[in-house]
Structure formats: structure tokens, C-alpha cells
């Protein structure tokens, strides 16, 4: 609403990118991420913020 991204949203972006990467390199089975018996999970996630993410206005 104010054009600034909430800090908690970054984790959602990272998770989406991680799952897309797993798909792109062929580790995700066609039936879903857990259908092959493997469980992929994040062990640690750390963010060092340099500046706030803001929406670009045209």
C-alpha cells in the first residue's frame, strides 16, 4: 500500500526461488516435491538488509 516491502515477505520470495531452482535442475519429481521420499528443507536462512525494497513508480 505504501510501496515498501515488509521484511517478512523476503522469506516468501526466497522460498519461491528455492523451489523453482529445484524444479529447474530436475530434483523435483513430477508428482510433487515429497513423492520421491526425499524431504528438502531450509536449515538456516539469514538476511542482511542493505536497504528497503520499494516499488518503482512509472
Q: How far apart are the first and last CA of the chain?
A: 16
Cα 31–Cα 33–Cα 34 angle in degrees, nearest 5 = 90
Phi, psi of 36 (to 5 degrees): -95, 5
Distance CA 12, CA 17 (A): 9
| pLDDT on residue 31 | 65
- Nearest CA among 9, 6, 17, 8 for reference residue 42: 17
Tens digit of pLDDT for each residue in 33-51? Answer: 666 666 667 788 888 888 7
The pTM score is 0.58
Amino acid at each position: 500500500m505504501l510501496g515498501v516491502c515488509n521484511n517478512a515477505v523476503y522469506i516468501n520470495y526466497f522460498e519461491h526461488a528455492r523451489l523453482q531452482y529445484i524444479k529447474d535442475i530436475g530434483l523435483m519429481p513430477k508428482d510433487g516435491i515429497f513423492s520421491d521420499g526425499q524431504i528438502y528443507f531450509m536449515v538456516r536462512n539469514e538476511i542482511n538488509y542493505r536497504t528497503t525494497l520499494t516499488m518503482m513508480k512509472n
